Chains A and B, each alone.
Chain A
């Protein structure tokens, strides 16, 4: 892959060589390169011309070179979801029914468990804690909270669906499947309390890659998911080797 790319872009190769030849480690080069002006920096198809500048590195880096990158991606999303539900469950909108309060408690513990699961599996490879930005959500307002929850869950489903194909370890792939169906159950529940019967309104999810005609849920690549999720994250998330 790398060779092929370089073969077709000799001038780029020259530029990269000069960096690789310097005392800089390859990994830190990629980290430097990954720090774009936007909070989501991509080193992937179409973004190669960005390599070699942007010397400021901050935030966390998701390195999709192996399964740990995918698991860290899931860990990032679960951190986000857990933080959201912790805030809702600790101080729910007054318009929430008793049943809604109870189920949001449940969901809170599901997302916390997912977050902690990934943290444990990743061990020393885990990214740091993300700082969230929920300024766009009015936590006192039932509708605002439900719409945010719906957005998180539908996006979470599309994220897992789109990332599964990247996993190379059977056990991790299976676990991702075990989690995504629970996220889908959450999504359906939240959609139903917003408007009963909208649990699987696939024609409203086309921006996430769904197809009502084929009965397919959303599926998005990590770059697209993170571009949507960045509204809720202060920490810069850098993506490499996607």
Chain B
């Protein structure tokens, strides 16, 4: 049993393992010196207590805040799809469309459960379907009776989810939780890609699997002005100070916009999410 290698493996996913174990790296020597004195059989126990010390403590409040924010969004997404499947069974056509929406619903539920489990007693209060309003106060009155409207709201949710997660990434920097968040984030992007294809298959023109430049250079490429807030800055083509348009032959403004998704701040996401929450339950 090579403890050093185990720690190195952990360090690969958690760069702060040593700081977690003890703020002073040099103090780790104490542990290894102790290791020499105790029997091999007792080592797993000693290691266990060491990791308990490292990870068993309270998660930094910023991390908890980010995860609870993500949990709220996942509740919303889950209820949005679940209600369509259980309460409006004729809304989504049978076959591939229902299978796709079911896949997505199941992922959102898995995300809810994963985040709830990770947060434990720090998890926010549950958001139930009764607390939601997917007509957005009458903005989308046909959300559960017109399939196309449903898909348009769905793409708003998915693209918001993608942008929301990446907007929080920096708050999870260097933390093992970041990897999990990124793994959720790219699944949301896969959903977004598919819903965009579902809209295209139902006659919505100009909608690509990736967010492109809207008509006349606007940020919103969906043609649904009610979801403009979801796409703010999506027509940006400068990344980390580098102008992407024309960076190589053939990289048009549209390509430059498509190849980087943009972030949304928490405040921006809250405004969008609150459209779908009843008064008294808003974030």
Using a CB–CB distance below 8 Å, which chain A residues touch chain B? 1, 4-5, 7-8, 44-46, 103, 106, 108-117, 120-121, 157, 160-162, 164-168, 170-175, 177-189, 192, 196-197, 199-200, 202, 209-219, 221, 242
Contacts and interface: CB of A to CB of B under 8 A. Distances in A.
Interface of B: 4-5, 8-9, 11-15, 18, 25, 28-29, 32, 96, 99-100, 103-104, 106-111, 113-114, 162, 165-166, 169-170, 173-176, 178-180, 182-194, 197, 208-210, 239-240, 242, 244, 247-248, 250-252, 255-256, 258-263
B18 A164 contact: no
B183 A218 contact: yes
Contacts of A108: 250
B242 A121 contact: yes
B194 A199 contact: yes
Nearest to A89: B250
Contacts of B11: 1
Contacts of A157: 186
Given A8-B32, A178-B263, A192-B197, A185 B192 contact: yes
A168 to B, nearest CB: 7
A240 to B, nearest CB: 14
Contacts of A45: 4-5, 8-9, 12
A84 B209 CA distance: 20
30 contacts: A1-B18, A4-B32, A5-B4, A8-B32, A45-B5, A46-B5, A106-B208, A109-B252, A109-B259, A112-B250, A117-B240, A117-B247, A120-B242, A161-B186, A165-B13, A165-B14, A166-B15, A172-B240, A173-B170, A175-B260, A181-B192, A192-B193, A199-B197, A200-B194, A202-B107, A209-B183, A214-B114, A215-B111, A215-B184, A216-B114
A110 B261 CA distance: 11
Across the A-B interface, the 4 shortest Cβ-Cβ residue pairs:
A215-B110, A177-B166, A184-B189, A188-B193
Contacts of A120: 242, 247
The interface centre, meaning the residue of A187, A196, A210 with most chain B CB atoms within 10 A of its CB, is A196
Nearest to B111: A215
Interface of A is mostly: helix
The interface centre, meaning the residue of A162, A171, A177, A196 with most chain B CB atoms within 10 A of its CB, is A177
Given A165-B176, A185-B210, A215 B197 contact: no
A185 B260 CA distance: 11
Contacts of A167: 173
Contacts of B193: 184-189, 192, 199
A165 B189 contact: no
Interface of B is mostly: helix
B80 to A, nearest CB: 15
Given A109-B252, A181-B189, 15 more contacts: A113-B251, A164-B178, A165-B176, A165-B179, A174-B263, A177-B261, A180-B182, A182-B259, A184-B189, A185-B209, A187-B193, A211-B183, A215-B111, A217-B185, A218-B183
Contact of A213 (B13, B110, B239): B110
Nearest to A5: B4
A160 B252 CA distance: 25
Contacts of A106: 208, 210, 255, 258
B261 A178 contact: yes
Contact of A174 (B13, B169, B251): B169
B106 A117 contact: no
Contacts of B178: 164-165
A1 to B, nearest CB: 7
The interface centre, meaning the residue of A120, A178, A181 with most chain B CB atoms within 10 A of its CB, is A181
Contacts of B261: 177-178, 181-182
A110 B12 contact: no
Contact of A216 (B187, B250, B252): B187
The interface centre, meaning the residue of B107, B166, B188 with most chain A CB atoms within 10 A of its CB, is B166
A116 B174 CA distance: 26
Nearest to A167: B173
A216 B18 contact: no
A138 to B, nearest CB: 25
Contact of B15 (A165, A202, A217): A165
B263 A160 contact: no
Contacts of B256: 113
Contacts of B170: 170, 173-174
B5 A217 contact: no
Contacts of B5: 45-46
Given A189-B197, A214-B114, A180 B242 contact: no
Given A45-B8, A189-B197, A182 B255 contact: no
